[in-house]
Structure 1
C-alpha cells in the first residue's frame, strides 16, 4: 500500500508540476557594444581592453554590435574620444568622425579609425573610444569602451 501511495504521489507531483505556467522576463531594451570589449580581457586596472595596432595600418575597423531586435531603418550611433585615456592627437595620429551607422535589418556596424602614419619616431600613443548611442539605443555599460594603442616603429639606427 505504501508503494502504491508513493508512486501515486510522485505521479501527482509530475502532473501538477508540469501545469505551472512559467513567466520568464523578456528584455526589451536596446544597446550597442564593441565586439572587441566583449571578447578581449580588460587592461589591468581598467574596465576596457587595449588593442595594439601599427601606425602604418591605415584604416582600422572596430565592430559594433546592436544587442536588440534589428531595426527597420538605419540607426546613427555616436561615440566620443575619452580624453582621460587618450594621448594620441587628432589630426596628427588619427581621425574619427564621431558617429557610425548600423544599417537597417542588421546587427553590426564598423567604427572606422583612420590611423595616420607619423613615420618612424618610436614609442606609442593611446586612443580611448566610448560608445554613446542615440535617443533609442544606449551604450552597454560593460562594453562601451575600447582603447587603441598606436605603435610607431623606432627610427633606424645611424651608423
Structure 2
C-alpha cells in the first residue's frame, strides 16, 4: 500500500509540476563584443586581452559578435583608438577606418586593422581598440576592448 501511495504521489507531483507556466525574462537589448575579449584571458592586472602580431602580417581581422537578434539591415558600428593604452602611431604602424559593418541577417562583423611593416627596428608598439556601437547597439561593458601588440623584429647584427 505504501508503494502505491508513493508512486501515486510521485505521479501527481510530476503531473502538476509540469503544468506550471514559466515566465522567464527575455533580454531584448543589443550589444557588440570582441570575440577575442570573450575567449582570451585578460592581460594581468587589466580588463582587456592582448593579441600579438608581427609588423609584417598585413591585415588583421578582429571578429565582433552581435549579441542580439540578427538585424534586417546592415549595421554600421564605430570604434575608437584608446590613447591611454596606445603607443602605435596611425599611418606609421597601422591604419584603421573607425567603423565596420555587421551585414544584414548576420551575427558577426570584422574590424580590419592594416598593420604596416616598419621594418626590422626591434621592440613593439601597442594599439588599444574600443567598441562604441551605434544609436541602437551598445558596446558590451566587459568585452569592448582589445589591445593589439605589434612586434618588430630586431635589426640584423652588425658584422
Distance 1:83 1:73 in 2: 32
State the shift of 1:5 in Å.
3.1
> Normalising to structure 1: TM-score of the pair?
0.95
Unpaired segments of 5 or more residues in structure 2? none
In structure 1, the partner of 2:63 is 63
In structure 2, the partner of 1:77 is 77
Alignment size in residue pairs: 159
State the shift of 1:120 in Å.
0.9
Distance 1:38 1:136 in 2: 22
State the shift of 1:52 in Å.
0.6
Distance 1:11 1:73 in 2: 50
In structure 1, the partner of 2:138 is 138
- Map Cα deviations across residues 92-111 of structure 1 (whole Å, 9 max, x no partner): 11111111011111111111
In structure 1, the partner of 2:148 is 148
Taking only aligned residues, the RMSD between alpha carbons, in angstroms, comes to: 1.2
In structure 2, the partner of 1:157 is 157
Q: How does 1:58-137 map to 2 (within 5 A)?
A: 58-137=58-137
Distance 1:11 1:107 in 2: 44
Distance 1:40 1:124 in 2: 20
In structure 1, the partner of 2:47 is 47
SS of the aligned residue for 1:147 comes to strand
State the shift of 1:126 in Å.
0.3
State the shift of 1:6 in Å.
3.0
- Map Cα deviations across residues 14-36 of structure 1 (whole Å, 9 max, x no partner): 22111111111111111111111
Distance 2:58 2:15 in 1: 65
> Normalising to structure 2: TM-score of the pair?
0.95
Q: How does 1:2-41 map to 2 (within 5 A)?
A: 2-41=2-41
Distance 2:74 2:114 in 1: 23
State the shift of 1:4 in Å.
3.5
Distance 2:6 2:52 in 1: 65
State the shift of 1:8 in Å.
2.7
